[in-house]
């Protein structure tokens, strides 16, 4: 399972950390930004984007008939 989904899981973790760090250092102070106004929103958004990004580089090992 690690071999199959390793890159995606790594992308989720790195993206979540990056999303939180973006909120912490840059964030939206006024609260009007939908993604960066709360830490949970930016962390989830970063996790999704990181997972999707690194999932693109994963090999597809299915056989065609």
| pLDDT at residue 64 greater than cutoff 70 | no
Domain ranges of the chain: 2-55
Residue 65: pLDDT band (50, 70, 90) is low
The pLDDT tens digits of the residues spanning 6-47 come to: 999 999 999 999 999 999 999 887 878 888 889 999 999 999
What is the model's pTM? 0.83
Residue predicted with more confidence, 34 or 59: 34
**C-alpha distance from residue 58 to each of 48, 52, 53, 62 (Å):** 16, 10, 10, 12
pLDDT at 57: 86
Going by C-alpha positions, the residue among 13, 18, 1, 8 that lies closest to residue 57 is: 8
Place of tokens 């690194």: 54
């Amino acid at each position: 399972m690690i071999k199959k989904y390793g890159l995606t899981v790594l992308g989720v973790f790195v993206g979540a950390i990056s999303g939180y760090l973006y909120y912490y250092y840059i964030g939206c102070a006024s609260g009007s930004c939908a993604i960066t106004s709360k830490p949970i929103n930016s962390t989830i958004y970063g996790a999704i984007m990181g997972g999707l990004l690194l999932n693109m580089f994963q090999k597809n090992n299915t056989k065609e008939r």
